[in-house]
Amino acid sequence: MANHETQLDKELGALKKNLIHMAMVVEQMIDQAITQLINRNEEFTAELVREEQEINRLQIHIDELALTILATLQPVAADLRLILAATKINSDLERIGDLVVNITENVRVLVQQPPLKPLIDIPRMAELVRRMVRESVESFIAGDIDLARRVILTDDKVDALKDQVLRELLTYMTADHSTIERAMALVLISRHLERIGDHANNIAEDVIYAVCGQDVRHPLTQREGHEE
Amino acid sequence: MANHETQLDKELGALKKNLIHMAMVVEQMIDQAITQLINRNEEFTAELVREEQEINRLQIHIDELALTILATLQPVAADLRLILAATKINSDLERIGDLVVNITENVRVLVQQPPLKPLIDIPRMAELVRRMVRESVESFIAGDIDLARRVILTDDKVDALKDQVLRELLTYMTADHSTIERAMALVLISRHLERIGDHANNIAEDVIYAVCGQDVRHPLTQREGHEE
């Protein structure tokens, strides 16, 4: 029995380590995409392709690891919740990688034309969602519910920035329709960033569910007796 | 042992039944949102709220069911993959519900103004993604790999329509900037529909992975020796 537990701890440690690695790659991808937008260059495509392949490799590896743990070590209770959360976080991180690729497609449109305006809100959004990704995974690793809750609170700021970006760019488009294509590309980038925030938010919710068995995903449908 | 197997079959049946129910509610929500857009009314809000609550209730229930099965019946191999896939499909369906809510927010903007143009591509996109959702879940229930592959192929059509919608609406916006706000709302609806298609696509990929242990999510990083 003691042996079993040690083996389980070791495997759970490997699972966490892979998720941390995956989150780091994803964070770096977000950073690069926004740097590319700000510096107006198109040159890191090869690096992005390599990173995306790394993400895909990690996704498969993490799912296989989770399956192996479930099949061979038959964890229960808290460990079981943790493993299920790990597979969901795995999917979220992989999709964040896809979203960064979508962002770079819009960046490509933008760098071929003169800058529309100094970028303020979009880099701010990118910084917020990058931190959300990091902190959501950190909250999982540390089982830190408070950190997970902070991630969820940050999502409101991201949504507010997204609305602000849309309002401002609609003004640009209306005033001068030579700006329409670029403004649209910026709106779509802000939407991709918002989606990244949503994924980090989902990770944080899954962490709270995994750690304390409490479902914060749907307070309305929640069982009674929980204070929030 | 025979008892154990019967119990497992019964629980897996319950898991599938709940996912079918969830997919039906989600499909209905998509249908209603687009009908609301076409008929230009704002009246089903109460129904949508009820449906979203139903989705949220089902999400919690399905995750609890999966955890209970894993903890008490310790399934292995194919059953284990199936349960992990079920929890991922569960998350995808719940997020599709959220996306429909996003669509109705843009519909609300649109019905308050005169129609911009006859809608052709967006209803077509909606019909495609609705079918993708249904068929992806059906492919899971039946373990039907061919159906799952067809879902994945349909995603390309959805992406092509999304690009077409963007191109057409950019033309409207450029020609007459009184159309900008409405055109933007339509672009965002097409993006939400595309995301729904992505979720159905993810479900189909998870089905193929669950059923034959083959990872189609990333052909590039796939192990050798598999024919596609």
For residue B20, which of B99, B138, B130 has the smallest C-alpha distance? B138
**Which of A88, A101, A105 has the highest number of chain B CBs within 10 A, making it the mutation to test binding with B?**
A88
CA distance A5 to A8: 5
DSSP string, A181-219: HHHHHHHHHHHHHHHHHHHHHHHHHHHHHHHH----S-G
**Which of A22, A60, A195 has the highest number of chain B CBs within 10 A, making it the mutation to test binding with B?**
A60
Q: What is the pLDDT of residues A128-143, one digit of tens each?
A: 999 999 999 999 999 9
Locate A208 and state its tokens: 């709270």
For residue A93, which of A57, A59, A66, A125 has the smallest C-alpha distance? A59
Asked if pLDDT for residue A8 goes beyond 90, the answer is: yes
Asked if pLDDT for residue B158 goes beyond 80, the answer is: yes
Please indicate whether, in this complex, the C-beta atoms of A60 and B218 are within 8 angstroms of each other: yes
Please indicate whether, in this complex, the C-beta atoms of B88 and A84 are within 8 angstroms of each other: no
State which amino acid sits at residue A62: I
CA distance A203 to A153: 13
Over chain A, what is the mean pLDDT?
90
State which amino acid sits at residue B155: D
Please indicate whether, in this complex, the C-beta atoms of A166 and B184 are within 8 angstroms of each other: yes
- Alpha helices (runs of H) in chain B, residue ranges in sequence order: 2-39, 45-73, 77-111, 121-142, 145-175, 180-212
CA distance B40 to B115: 9
Locate A55 and state its tokens: 């993400």
Mean pLDDT of A187-197: 97
Q: Sort out which chain B residues have CB atoms less than 8 A from A155's CB and list them.
A: none
Locate B228 and state its tokens: 């596609």
Please indicate whether, in this complex, the C-beta atoms of A88 and B91 are within 8 angstroms of each other: yes
For residue A151, which of A171, A164, A136 has the smallest C-alpha distance? A136
Q: To the nearest whole angstrom, how far is the Cα of A174 from the nearest Cα of chain B? A: 6
Asked if pLDDT for residue A221 goes beyond 90, the answer is: no
pLDDT of A77 reads 81
Which of B80, B177, B191 has its CB closest to that of A70?
B80
Please indicate whether, in this complex, the C-beta atoms of A60 and B174 are within 8 angstroms of each other: no
Q: What is the pLDDT of residues B101-135, one digit of tens each?
A: 999 999 999 999 999 999 999 999 999 999 999 99
Q: Which residues contact B218 (CB under 8 A, 6 or more apart)?
A: A53, A56, A57, A59, A60
Q: Sort out which chain A residues have CB atoms less than 8 A from B171's CB and list them.
A: none
DSSP string, A17-47: HHHHHHHHHHHHHHHHHHHHHHHT----HHH
Mean pLDDT of B65-86: 91
Q: What is the pLDDT of residues A84-96, one digit of tens each?
A: 999 999 999 999 9
Mean pLDDT of B52-77: 92
pLDDT of A45 reads 76
**Which of A176, A218, A220 has the highest number of chain B CBs within 10 A, making it the mutation to test binding with B?**
A218
- What are residue B218's phi and psi, to 5 degrees? -140, 80
Asked if pLDDT for residue A219 goes beyond 60, the answer is: no
| Token pair 């965002």 in the structure block, residue | B188
Q: Sort out which chain B residues have CB atoms less than 8 A from A219's CB and list them.
A: none
Asked if pLDDT for residue B43 goes beyond 50, the answer is: yes
Q: To the nearest whole angstrom, how far is the Cα of A38 from the nearest Cα of chain B? A: 24
Can you give the pTM of this predicted structure?
A: 0.89
Look up the ipTM and state it: 0.85
